[in-house]
Amino acid sequence: MADKQELREVEVWDGNMAASQAMRQVQIDVVAAYPITPSTPIVENYGNFLANGYVDGEFIMVESEHAAMSGCIGASAAGGRVATATSSQGFALMVETLYQASGMRLPIILNVVNRALAAPLNVNGDHSDMYLGRDSGWIQFDAYNPQNAYDLNFIAFRVAEDHEIRLPAMVHQDGFLTSHTAQGVKTLDDDTAYSFVGDFKPMNDMLDLDHPVTHGVQTEEDWHFEHKARQHHDLMTKVFPRIEAAFDAFEKLTGRRYNIVETYNTEGADAVVVCMGTSVETAVEVSNELRGEGKKVGVIGIRVLRPWPHAQIAEALKGIKAIGALDRSSPNGTFGMLYNELAGTVVNGGENKVLTNYVYGLGGRDLTKVHLREIYAELLANAEAGKPTTPLQQLIGVRGPQISFH
């Protein structure tokens, strides 16, 4: 039986430690992991907990991230609670197996510490890896700070392992900005944390020898579409009610409220930015300042990227005249993902909204308050004009002449 840790009510943790503490507290059966910056400390801390008797499960050291997720898939199909962590190139190497995990309906939790994708090689935070996973059939939660990274792990386990859901989930946090920035994190004691998630309940597990099953079967044109349709249907209809229920239960337990779409200063706002990760907190600070100056600006933070919260965002954007979609990933030949998703969400809403796209912060480039003030000024001009007053897509914070398109 694993030893318990006595935590202070508030611990000073970075995002990585917050995630590894949550992983310790839910008592995972198998972690198969391969370290990569900036997520390395998650599995390093976890290995430390295990070596010191705070975890009963198995830690499998593997030769690559592809093998790490493959090991997780095997362990999950066998019937255990399973999680791991990765970033960037490691995430990219996992991609093939991510689709296996979700198609096999295995509730694995993957902590993704967001980092840029090479080339050029870069260890700092942007959202390229998070974007790479968005069609993989996983649920994607986004943390804005270490407290979120801690809390969302419990939410993720609870939702993913629900027998009505049985889908893997990623908990994203920004590389370095969250993962290596120590902040005060309000903790749960070990028993409370564990019971929020509960005992793992296996489903169709391979170690149930009285009910042998074959996992990972092949289906061609005869049955493949039905499996994919079922998975898509469950993502579209079943996941949000369970996330809402988990957020409600978590609020009741801790007083901390999470929403599928987070809104700040959106009441009566003319212009909002929509963004993810640590940028949400910077944008909230700027919008508070601008509200003090009488400017009606707000922030919408995406808490759940997949499934895409179409209805919740449409509701949050009601009456708002100008939207800036802030994408921290190079779209490489099109608009940013948030721009495209938001366009799809608002186009049938019957309101005339001006939607523009800002690509920012690649490879860990800072998004400053000055940038956000400039963005808000442009968005307010768009709201006033009722049409774009700037190019539809602009890259901000890049050296040299301004780059913009359309």
Q: Which stretch binds another protein (CB under 8 A): 41-49, 207-215, 278-286, 355-363?
A: 207-215
**H-run or E-run covering 256:** none
Does residue 211 touch another protein according to CB under 8 A?
A: yes
Q: Are strands 403-405 and 393-395 parallel, antiparallel or unpaired?
A: antiparallel
As measured in angstroms, the least distance from the Cβ of 103 to another protein is: 5
Counting other chains too, the contacts that 308-316 makes at CB distance below 8 Å and 24 or more residues apart are 308/341, 308/345, 309/240, 309/260, 309/261, 310/344, 310/345, 312/240, 312/259, 312/260, 312/261, 313/261, 313/274, 313/342, 313/345, 314/345, 314/346, 314/349, 316/261, 316/263, 316/266
Q: Which of 66, 134, 186, 227 binds another protein (CB under 8 A)?
A: 227
| CA 284 to chain CA centroid, nearest Å | 19
Q: Which of 52, 192, 219, 334 binds another protein (CB under 8 A)?
A: 219
Does residue 214 touch another protein according to CB under 8 A?
A: yes
Token pair of 75, please?
């362990």
As measured in angstroms, the least distance from the Cβ of 72 to another protein is: 15
As measured in angstroms, the least distance from the Cβ of 98 to another protein is: 14
Residue 212 or 292: the one with the smaller Cβ distance to another protein is: 212
Here's the x/- map for another protein, 165-194, by CB under 8 A: it reads as -x----------------------------
Does residue 399 touch another protein according to CB under 8 A?
A: no
Q: Which stretch binds another protein (CB under 8 A): 132-140, 217-225, 260-268, 374-382?
A: 217-225
CA-closest candidate to residue 364, choices 147, 183, 181, 174 = 174
Token pair of 97, please?
């197996």
Alpha-carbon Rg for the chain, nearest whole angstrom, is 21
Residue 126 or 161: the one with the smaller Cβ distance to another protein is: 161
Report the phi/psi class of residue 370: left, alpha or beta, with left for phi > 0 and alpha for psi in -120 to 50: alpha
Q: What is the C-alpha separation between 87 and 41, in angstroms, rounded?
A: 12
Does residue 204 touch another protein according to CB under 8 A?
A: yes
Q: Name 141's bridge partners.
A: 171, 304
Does residue 80 touch another protein according to CB under 8 A?
A: no
CA-closest candidate to residue 124, choices 37, 25, 222 = 37
| CA 23 to chain CA centroid, nearest Å | 16
3-state secondary structure of 327: strand
Q: Which of 229, 236, 370, 403 binds another protein (CB under 8 A)?
A: 229
**H-run or E-run covering 3:** none
As measured in angstroms, the least distance from the Cβ of 223 to another protein is: 8
- Give the contacts of 98 (CB within 8 A, at least 6 positions apart): 69, 110, 133, 136, 137, 138, 168
Does residue 119 touch another protein according to CB under 8 A?
A: no
Does residue 233 touch another protein according to CB under 8 A?
A: yes
Q: What is the C-alpha separation between 159 and 173, in angstroms, rounded?
A: 18
Q: Which of 104, 159, 299, 300 binds another protein (CB under 8 A)?
A: 104
Does residue 351 touch another protein according to CB under 8 A?
A: no
Q: Are strands 10-13 and 183-186 parallel, antiparallel or unpaired?
A: antiparallel
Size, binding site for another protein by CB under 8 A: 23
Does residue 217 touch another protein according to CB under 8 A?
A: yes
Does residue 238 touch another protein according to CB under 8 A?
A: no
Token pair of 255, please?
């007083």
| CA 32 to chain CA centroid, nearest Å | 20
Q: Which of 5, 181, 231, 330 binds another protein (CB under 8 A)?
A: 231
CA-closest candidate to residue 43, choices 99, 112, 142 = 112
Does residue 81 touch another protein according to CB under 8 A?
A: no
- Sign (positive/negative) of CA torsion 306, 263, 111, 121? positive
Q: Which stretch binds another protein (CB under 8 A): 36-44, 98-106, 257-265, 284-292?
A: 98-106
Residues 240-269 within binding reach of another protein (CB under 8 A)? none
Q: Which of 234, 281, 289, 374 binds another protein (CB under 8 A)?
A: 234
As measured in angstroms, the least distance from the Cβ of 163 to another protein is: 9
As measured in angstroms, the least distance from the Cβ of 22 to another protein is: 26
Q: Which stretch binds another protein (CB under 8 A): 84-92, 149-157, 190-198, 228-236?
A: 228-236
Q: Which of 24, 81, 105, 353 binds another protein (CB under 8 A)?
A: 105
* CA within 13 Å, CB half, 275: 29
Residues that bind another protein (CB under 8 A): 103-106, 166, 204, 210-217, 219, 225-227, 229-231, 233-234
